Chain A
Amino acid sequence: MAKELLKMDHITKTFPGVKALDNVNLSVEEGEIHALVGENGAGKSTLMNVLSGIYPYGTYEGDIIYNGEVCKFQKIKDSEEKGIVIIHQELALVPQMSIGENMFLGNERGKKNAINWNETYGEADKYLKMVGLSESSRVLIKDIGTGKQQLVEIAKALAKHAKLLILDEPTSSLNETDSRALLDLMLEFKKQGMTMIIISHKLNEVVYVADKITVIRDGSTVETLDCHTMEINEDRIIRGMVGRELTNRFPKREAVEKGDINMEVKDWTVYHPLYTERKVVDGVNLNVRKGEVVGIYGLMGAGRTELAMSIFGKSYGSGITGTLKINGKEMDLKNPRAAIDAKLAYVTEDRKGNGLVLTNTIKVNTSLANMEGVSEKGIIDSDKEYQVAVEYKNKLETKTPTVEQNVGNLSGGNQQKVLLAKWMFTDPDILILDEPTRGIDVGAKYEIYCIINDLVKAGKSVIMISSELPEVLGMSDRIYIMNEGKFVGELDASEASQELIMSSILQSGRGE
């Protein structure tokens, strides 16, 4: 049995009014990859914040035993000195600075106040090589892709002489290829003796890399699964996370009568808004019927969001050509207002970026896209607005004490529900849902799927954009496959399979 590197013993952390962690135990052996899984708000991040000293010693109960000694970290620097380094979910890099500058930010090479640039870039290059990046460390961060930026973060951690590396959702913004490369890198590090903790929602990735899996639910450790002695699959982990058997990850949809074609897009071509000669969407044909869920599957960067936003009142792109018919009538939707009036809704993939006003309340966000619905002659009927917000809160089972709560204080799943509520209140016929379950936990995902089922049952059309294959397969009636701006395949749900979809993407790539 290998040496125990880290033991978090009976950790309890209380915030006023909430017990975020209740008697959590975590034991990590040297040289293993230990996965930490749990629903949003289960306490994974809080636990890691305790470990790294963000919550200093004394603000929690219990002991952190690292390398055989009890640690009393006061700040992040203390834990980093011991070799415990966290890589946070949000990339913390300065885009306008070079890779090298970013890597040693706050940890500069050279004498006091005078940076030794040769040493900086020399060392940076060394660590870049270790993570398999061939870029020079003088390249600016903004000029490399997100996948490579994530690798820079890891190189940065290595430069701090990390012995225990903690990766918080490292693949959440990466596409499949980059994710796989990152996971393989982790396995490579393990061979060299590095110990790692990975926090992830993507259970397939967890199963792929982890030696042990600790499941946290509602602030307590539920169980630790050993992947070498037990048969571990995704369903087994989910059972631990939600505390019940999720026999079906996708709710059954009652057979819905498919109506007429509701929306039809022909030869839709969109160019990049800044680089106007670059085609982002190329001759796409698409249609959706009443009561139908149409999936659009594609990897990140395939042009799915761009397609959706250009349809939604030309809110993206330049030089848009093609025809758009709604209920058989050709339409020219010049702006989002016109799209909303044509009963179209676009539920963004980027909740925080362009979906919700985080500093405002649930009430304000719910009514934002349909102020006419809660006002008369431009004067807001506060009672009505409140009632509408409460009605949608109840309908979608948004978990919040009051609709006067700021949206920024809600969990990802509940934010997604508020976003859905906003668009449902515009009473659309066609909803384009862009990555509707990104970054939300298993339980909330299921609830979102149920909402989608209710929508189509009410005769609405849903276009669901997703980069999660199981989701596309589980929810769609029909699937379009998109790659490099083009639709490269169309499959009926009955014939679709993971292999078929991936192969049509691969074939289209070869055809170029």
Chain B
Amino acid sequence: MANNNITAVLKKNAMLIVLVLVYIFFTAMTGGQMFQAMNFNALITQNAYVYVLAAGMLMCMLTGGNIDLSCGSFVCFLGAIGGILMTVKQMNPGISIFIMLIIGVVYGCVLGYLIAYVDIPPWIATLAGYLAFRGWGTALLSANSTTGSISLAAKKDFLAIFSGKIFPTGVNKLNMVCMIVGIIACIIVVAISFMGRANKVKKGYEVESMAALFAKCILSVAAILLFTYKLAMAGGIPTVLIWVVVIVLIYNFITSKTTLGRYFYTIGGNAEATRLSGVDTRKIMFLAYLNMAVLTAITTFIVTARFQAANSQAGTYYEMDAIAACVVGGVSAYGGAGNVFGMVVGATLIGVINLGMSLMGVNADWQKVVKGVVLLAAVVFDILADKKSSTK
């Protein structure tokens, strides 16, 4: 029985364990470089877009393995719009952000309508967007600049909201705000774990053993403290981390606690049964793509702020990164299964591999090969594990 428990725990957290092992591997291969504070910071800032897009992609994939191929190109297009509004037209950043969001919502509605109500297969509808927005975005940029890129470096307000740090301090000086936030996060995690258990005990449900709970809390606290310590040494909390954490928490709540989220799962499991249970399945499909477009708009803000410019290469392969993060994180390619926690682990794993290989000096072509292999391995592992458990 005890043995069974351990294997069950290992199985449940397989990807998390792989993540830790991969991290240790790269730390060893880069002579500890991977473990430096600056690279913790880079891991967040470079990969923020993956978490945000993957949250949207998760919702689409849940409805039956549907994907959005257009989000990368749309980042480029919407970035171009932003550049034109803020730099060329010198419009107020707040109004510009609002207009960009509206454009995102309009695109989401059109896409959602085509997919949900006209029954166009999602990958075809979004393939059209993939082609069109890359072209349109590039055309807008070349029409409004000589270099094909519009700088946003002067827009300090805009940059402050989506990039930069909160109460920044110099490198290698401990940032107290960051540490305090980390400690508060630890307290919240521990409190929620223990209160949740006490609540279950009160209602007579099955609970994990006290020892397991302690182990879990200690590991979580250690991870959070290590993470915040590293960030504190790198100058403080990156603003974009707040965006990512808030989005992840919101989507975790939607998928696990709301009736709306439940319908995404059941549609992926059996759309017809869900429809006959009185659920407006078309509306759910519509919402999946509307939601995706809104998150793509937020991604655009994050990405243009990080590069301090809108350029025609922005968003290239982003859709693939988002899909890969979901799939590596255990989201079913057939729909109906997967969760936000898995997606976060998947996105982080891909980020760690990217960063690690860059630090090792692996060339970009081979990086793609490695990512392809990892993606395939994750799916194969998932399917084999599934088979094993179903044949008992």
Contact = CB atoms under 8 A, between A and B. Distances in A.
A binds B: yes
Interface of A: 15-17, 312-313, 315, 335-337, 339-340, 346, 348, 353-360, 364, 368-369, 371-372, 375, 378-380, 382-383, 386, 422
Q: Which 8 A-B pairs have the closest CB atoms?
A: A357-B269, A354-B272, A369-B277, A337-B278, A371-B259, A340-B278, A357-B270, A336-B278
Contacts of A353: 272-273
Contact of B336 (A16, A312, A356, A359): A359
Nearest to A354: B272
B77 to A, nearest CB: 33
Given A16-B392, A358-B269, A378 B260 contact: yes
Interface string B228-269: 000000000000000000000000000001111010011001
A337 B260 CA distance: 15
B336 A375 contact: no
B392 A348 contact: no
A83 to B, nearest CB: 28
B33 interface: no
Contact of A346 (B205, B265, B276, B336): B276
B87 interface: no
A380 B257 CA distance: 5
A380 B269 contact: no
A353 B273 CA distance: 7
A336 B392 contact: no
A378 B258 contact: yes
Contact of A315 (B275, B279, B280): B275
A422 B270 CA distance: 15
Contacts of B336: 357, 359-360
Contacts of A15: 392
A371 B272 contact: no
Contact of B266 (A337, A340, A364, A383): A364
Contacts of A380: 257-259, 262
Contact of A360 (B203, B269, B272): B269
B337 interface: yes
Contacts of A422: 277
Contacts of B203: 383
Residue of B203, B205, B269, B274 with highest tally of chain A CB at under 10 A: B269
Contacts of B273: 348, 353-357, 368
Contacts of A339: 278
A375 to B, nearest CB: 5
A404 to B, nearest CB: 10
Contacts of A348: 273, 276
8 contacts: A355-B273, A355-B276, A356-B273, A359-B336, A359-B337, A364-B262, A369-B278, A372-B259
Contacts of B278: 313, 335-337, 339-340, 369
Contacts of A378: 258-260
Nearest to B206: A402
Interface of B: 203, 205, 257-260, 262, 265-266, 269-270, 272-280, 336-337, 392
Contact of B270 (A356, A369, A375): A356
B272 A368 contact: no
A474 to B, nearest CB: 28
A359 B272 contact: no
Nearest to A375: B259
Nearest to B256: A380
Contact of A336 (B205, B259, B270, B275): B275
A337 B280 contact: yes
A346 B336 CA distance: 24
A386 B199 CA distance: 15
A356 B277 CA distance: 10
Contacts of A375: 258-259
Given A356-B270, A359-B269, A383-B203, A336 B276 contact: yes
Given A16-B392, A335-B280, A357 B274 contact: yes
- The residue among A16, A364, A368, A375 with the most chain B CB atoms within 10 A of its own CB is A368
A372 B272 CA distance: 20
Contacts of A315: 275-276
Nearest to A360: B269
Contacts of A336: 275-278
A467 to B, nearest CB: 21
A229 B325 CA distance: 68
Contacts of A313: 278
Contacts of A340: 277-278
Contacts of A369: 277-278
A13 B216 CA distance: 40
A372 B270 CA distance: 20
Nearest to B259: A371
Contacts of A368: 262, 266, 273-274, 277, 279
A400 to B, nearest CB: 15
Nearest to A316: B276
Nearest to B270: A357
B274 A360 contact: no
A15 B390 CA distance: 12
A359 B274 CA distance: 13
A274 to B, nearest CB: 14
Contacts of A382: 257
A335 B258 CA distance: 23
Contacts of A357: 265-266, 269-270, 273-274, 336
- The listed residue with most A CB atoms (<10 A of its CB), out of B203, B270, B273, is B273
A387 to B, nearest CB: 9
B377 to A, nearest CB: 23
Most buried by B among A17, A348, A380: A380
B270 A358 contact: yes
Contacts of A359: 269-270, 336-337
Contacts of A372: 259
B259 A354 contact: no
Contacts of A335: 278, 280
Contacts of A386: 205
A31 to B, nearest CB: 36
B258 A354 contact: no
